């Protein structure tokens, strides 16, 4: 199981005890526009997901980690998705609970995940898709060295309207 230690936060693999927190985040309708979820998840569905979430990233093609305080309080999630072993890249998404935003936890979590992705998983690059009006996420990814490489026009449809989405990319030039 992945367990990464930072100065102010840790990243760890999901456990069954995360069910209530996962349920709260996944069913928060204010986040659905970002995650592209359209219907709520039941606790049974999420429990089944938790039971398999820590299997091999190469099989699942994703890895979700809990961002926790040093006292193990959950603060959010950070994910690798669309893991492509052959081409050595993956997507990154992150969510921090509203009351824990603006405290540097997202930047530290992203930095830890980048280090793990490049040094342990030996990825060559990471990417993220960010809505054009999500200035907080844009600042986060730019501050971590991601480059805005494209604009997907009218890419996301939510509540009757289309929104543009930026593509951010970080290439590890070590490989």
Exposed (0-12), middle (13-18) or buried (19+): which is 70, by Cβ within 10 Å?
exposed
Q: Cα–Cα distance between 67 and 101 in angstroms, integer?
A: 12
Measured in whole angstroms, the distance separating CA 175 from the mean position of its chain's CA atoms is 23
Confidence (pTM):
0.88
Report yes or no on 143 lying in a domain: no
Q: pLDDT tens, position by position, for the chain (175 residues)?
A: 788 999 999 999 989 898 888 888 887 766 656 666 667 778 787 777 777 776 666 667 889 999 999 999 999 999 999 999 999 999 999 999 999 999 999 999 999 999 999 999 999 999 999 999 999 999 999 999 999 999 999 998 888 899 999 999 999 987 5
Beta bridge partners of 96: 76
Report yes or no on 166 lying in a domain: no
Query: For 161, how many CA atoms within 13 A lie in the half-sphere containing its CB?
Result: 3
Domain span including residue 69: 3-123
Report yes or no on 69 lying in a domain: yes
Report yes or no on 136 lying in a domain: no
Report phi then psi at 119, rounded to 5: -90, -30
Helix (H) or strand (E) holding 44: helix 43-52
Structural domains in the chain (count): 1
Report yes or no on 112 lying in a domain: yes
Report yes or no on 144 lying in a domain: no
Report yes or no on 171 lying in a domain: no
Which CATH number goes with the domain that contains 84? 3.40.630.30
Report yes or no on 7 lying in a domain: yes
């Amino acid at each position: 199981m992945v367990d990464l230690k930072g100065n102010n936060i840790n990243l760890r693999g999901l456990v069954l005890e995360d069910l209530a927190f996962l349920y709260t985040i996944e069913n928060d309708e204010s986040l659905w526009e970002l995650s592209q979820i359209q219907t709520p998840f039941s606790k049974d569905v999420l429990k089944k997901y938790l039971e398999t979430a820590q299997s091999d990233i190469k099989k699942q093609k994703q890895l979700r980690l809990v961002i926790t305080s040093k006292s193990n309080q959950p603060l959010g999630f950070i994910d690798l998705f669309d893991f492509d072993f052959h081409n050595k890249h993956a997507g990154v998404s992150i969510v921090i609970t509203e009351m824990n935003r603006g405290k540097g936890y997202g930047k530290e979590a992203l930095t830890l995940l980048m280090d793990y992705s490049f040094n342990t998983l030996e990825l060559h690059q990471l990417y993220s898709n960010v809505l054009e009006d999500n200035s907080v996420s844009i600042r986060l990814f730019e501050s971590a060295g991601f480059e805005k490489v494209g604009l997907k026009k009218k890419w996301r449809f939510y509540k009757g309207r289309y929104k543009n989405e930026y593509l951010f990319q970080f290439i590890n030039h070590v490989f």
